[in-house]
Amino acid sequence: MTKKRARRPQIQKKLRNRRNQRRGQTSLAPLEDRILLLLSGRKNPMTTAAIMNELGLPGAARKAAGKAINTLVKQQKIRQKNKKFTSVADKNLHRATISLTSRGFGFATIENQPAATKDLFISKDNLNGASHGDTVLISILGRTSRGRKEAQVARILKRAVSTLCGIFIQESKGGHLMPDNPKLPFMVFIPAAKTKNAGNGTAVLARITEYGGRDREPVGEILELLGDPLTVPVQLRMAMEQLSLARSFPDEVIEAAQQLQPLTSCEHGRRDLRHIPHVTIDGATARDFDDAIAVEKTKAGFRLYVSIADVSHYVKPGSPIDQEAYRRGTSVYLPDLVLPMLPERLSNDLCSLVPHEDRPAFSAILDFDRTGKRLHAQYCRSMITSHTRFTYDTVHRILFLQDEEKRRQHDKLLPMLSLAKKLSRQLRKRRQQRGSLGFTIPEAVITLDGDRVSSIGQAQRNEAHLLIEDFMLAANEAVAETVAHAHMDVLYRVHEKPDPAKVATFTEAAAAMGLQLPKTDISPAWFAGVLDEARGKPAEYVVNNLLLRTMQRARYSPENLGHFGLAARYYLHFTSPIRRYPDLIAHRVLNNFLIRQTKSEKPQPILPKGENLAQAALHLSARERVAVDAERDVQARLSCLFLLDRIGEEFEAVISGVTSFGLFVELTSLFISGAVPMRSMKEDYFLFDSRAHRLIGERTNKIYQLGQIIRIRLDHVDMQAKRITFSLVADGPARR
């Protein structure tokens, strides 16, 4: 019997325990609140008897119920007509979306609230049956002891979850589904006739047919048997279902894509740039090439061509392809799998800048002096030919490792690449001088072998990656500045200043790790100085992570608020329209800018009909977060699978967080996160020093400090919660 099979009974036992725990939960809310919430969720008036029946109150509670109802009437929170009661108008209620935590409480995001506004806290007892992702009406109660606004759900307007994945637990009269998403705090009863003969512990896709109520669990039916939950394909499928990621395109979108005809001629004023030695530089496994570059020497310095696939030529606003692309917002990249924004006919064929094929493009032609200062920018719809498809590794060997064989193979393009190297260094130097931040956080690369994870390692990043990054940033800034000066509406990529409180917390943590920081100044230059101070030191990885957490999340906005992290006054996304919809918007706006100059035709729409830029900014920022969440969720799932058979093994790790309940750690060789609970640290009783971010042994004075390297042992892998638990190896190394 394999270790995976041996672990299955343990998983099933834990799932049963959680099911029983959740089924036993009852509401502890005051009677007035329960009555108010009940009436807020009903359109028709209710009698006292109906209210008692719905709340499951016994006859002996009639006096208490009557008193509570009279109190609510006097407070004008409910209205009485004859002997029936109804809620007051919804004028004090706010439409919001619920986000639950795995601990049962949640937060509400009010519709159209400013980006800097904190979400409202909702306790378990104030959810009123709402679940993760639901659209609800909420009433604001006041503030918690920590100062955050608190709310309660008054009415559920729209359920977010109708289908869900989970593990089926077989019982005598059917079974129960344990949701794969730990944020869904309920079990779903599956009647025997609706189980599709699912086996115990099988991963399934189910649909909720009855949502139940306060004292009634949801009921559902199994739609599809997914298979063994301890395999990679099943985990990937469950991740996609959890975030409602589309696995295929609608038939009308596929049909529309197939009918598109390739453009190979310079018609309608398109500029012929096929003689320019454009090249693409991408990863070895890339299939869609949406950017090509070329560099020429000029009297003043350099001319940079950044030519981007002209997706806007094929994808017209409001077309079926456009509407589906807008709905998706972005491509999602998972191990050995891409969920593209555009159909393959476009992403890998018509729009992909494959070598030696004529392709329509949108070109930014930028002139720089010898120091990398931009002198002039011009734009055009063009026709280009990629002369070579380079990989990052090949360019790195040619330019930075001086590989003679590779240089001979590409001797015709060597002068152009050498110019690109010089310009790249000047552009990067100017960005660094103005305070642009350069985070050095390694990314994990997961390699699959069929249904299993074969390895998890670090993504390789070299100077060729930085070269392309320099050119893409330069193009994005130039386009943003151009449309801003032209007073044209567009979606900017904005990154606002960090919260001073978070910066203060970071400063404390950095000082605790021994970094000598300059006087705090919330400016890009100060943050860049901190990164320089940490570079090459053992704490570099942790400092980069902590500093990143102090930052606000970058987002899309119709208002130009600048980009703090890049220290850029103007910034937007222009260079990846195959995989990001905001870039497609930028192309359409830039085309309208050219139309305005030539007065050759009428400006074209930039969004599907009925949408505006404010709505698009919120929607596309949200779709980007879904993509990031999907990538993180899959990494957590596959990390758990990778370690599932390695219980008891020892690893080296860096302490990435210190709390009163234990340590957060990151395996230095595998880039896998986990925790060391305080309860497992039995060698001593440890005190938590929050200011110094460390644990101190009361008897031994042993210290576990943020940024410290330690030796740990793998104790437990929780596939349902995607959590990995370690314990300290007593005699292992503990070094800074």
Structure tokens at 397: 């060997």
In the beta sheet, which residues pair with residue 221?
207
Rounded (10°) angle between helices 31-40 and 62-74: 70
| CB atoms closer than 10 angstroms to residue 600 | 10
By the 10 Å C-beta count (0-12 exposed, 13-18 middle, 19+ buried), 242 is classed as: buried
**CB count, 10 Å around CB of 690?**
11
Q: 710: part of which helix (H) or strand (E)?
A: strand 709-718
Other Cβ atoms less than 10 A from the Cβ of 735: the count is: 10
How do residues 586-636 score in pLDDT, each as one tens digit?
Answer: 999 999 999 998 877 888 999 999 899 999 999 999 999 999 999 999 999
Q: Sheet containing 46-47: which strands, arranged edge to edge?
A: 46-47, 84-87, 78-81
Pair 11, 720: CB distance under 8 Å = yes
Rounded CA-CA distance 147/501 in Å is: 14
Query: Are 724 and 677 spatial neighbours (Cβ–Cβ below 8 Å)?
Result: no
Surface-to-core class of residue 168, CB atoms within 10 Å of its CB (0-12 exposed, 13-18 middle, 19+ buried): buried
Q: Tell me if 430 sits within 8 A of 568, measured CB to CB.
A: no
CA distance 172 to 149: 46
Q: What are phi and psi of 471, to 5 degrees?
A: -70, -40
Among candidates 386, 378, 344, which has minimal Cα distance to 361?
386
**Enclosing H/E stretch for 676:** strand 673-677
3 state SS of 680: helix
Per the structure block, which two tokens stand in for 190? 């599956």
User: Angle at Cα 269 formed by Cα 266 and Cα 274, nearest 5°?
Assistant: 40
Task: Name beta bridge partners: 711.
Answer: 652
Phi, psi angle pair for 40, to nearest 5°: -65, -25
Q: Is 129 helix (H, G, I), strand (E, B) or coil?
A: coil
CA distance 292 to 296: 14
Going 342 to 347 to 349 to 350, the CA torsion angle's sign is positive
User: In 3-state terms, the chain is what percent helix, strand and coil (to 5)?
Assistant: 35, 30, 40
Instruction: Find out whether 37 and 191 touch, Cβ atoms under 8 Å.
Output: no
Which distant-in-sequence residues (6+ apart) come within 8 Å of 597 by Cβ? none
* Structural domains of the chain sorted by starting position, each given as residue range(s) with its CATH number in brackets: 268-492+567-627 (no CATH), 644-728 (2.40.50.140)
Kind of pairing, strands 650-659 and 709-718?
Answer: antiparallel
- As a dihedral over the C-alpha atoms of residue 625, residue 631, residue 635, residue 636, rounded to 10 degrees, the angle is 30
Exposed / middle / buried, residue 380 (Cβ in 10 Å: 0-12, 13-18, 19+): middle
Could you give the C-alpha distances from 93 to 37, 155, 600, in angstroms and in order?
12, 9, 50
Distances (CA, A) of 176 to 17, 212, 222, 224: 12, 14, 10, 15
Q: For residue 282, give the H/E element and its range.
A: strand 279-282
Give the model's pLDDT for residue 91.
Answer: 59
Residue 435 CA to residue 357 CA, distance in Å, equals 40
Question: What distance in Å separates the CA atoms of residue 443 and residue 376, rounded to the nearest whole number?
Answer: 36
* Structure confidence at residue 3 (pLDDT): 45
Q: What is the residue-wise DSSP string for 535-590?
A: TTSTTHHHHHHHHHHHSPPPEEESS---BTTTTBSS----S-TTTBHHHHHHHHHH
> Strand 271-272's sheet: what is its strand order?
271-272, 374-385, 358-369, 301-309, 291-297, 279-282, 388-391
Rounded to 10 deg, the angle between the 392-399 and 463-485 helix axes is: 110
Phi/psi zone of residue 487: left (φ > 0), alpha (ψ -120 to 50 degrees), beta? left
Helix axes 251-258, 320-328, angle to 10 degrees: 120
24 half-sphere exposure, CB direction, 13 A CA radius: 6
Whether the model pTM is above 0.75: yes
Ranges of the chain with pLDDT below 70: 1-30, 40-41, 43, 89-91, 115-116, 213-215, 440, 538, 731-736
Q: How many H helices and E strands in the chain?
A: 18, 34
What would the pLDDT profile of 666-682 be if each residue is shown by its tens digit?
Answer: 998 888 999 999 999 98
Q: Is 642 helix (H, G, I), strand (E, B) or coil?
A: helix
Question: How do strand 388-391 and strand 279-282 relate by DSSP bridges?
Answer: parallel
- How distant, in Å, are the alpha carbons of 61, 190, 205, 220 from that of 223? 43, 11, 6, 9
Side-chain half-sphere CA neighbours of 205 within 13 A: 15
User: ∠ at Cα 96 (91, 99), nearest 5°?
Assistant: 150
Q: Which of 201, 196, 157 is nearest to 180 (CA)?
A: 201
237 in Cβ contact with 231 (< 8 Å):
no
The span from the CA of 415 to the CA of 412, in Å, is 7
Kindly report the length of the chain.
736
267, two tokens: 């018609």
Beta carbons within 10 angstroms of residue 622's beta carbon: 14
pLDDT at 22: 43
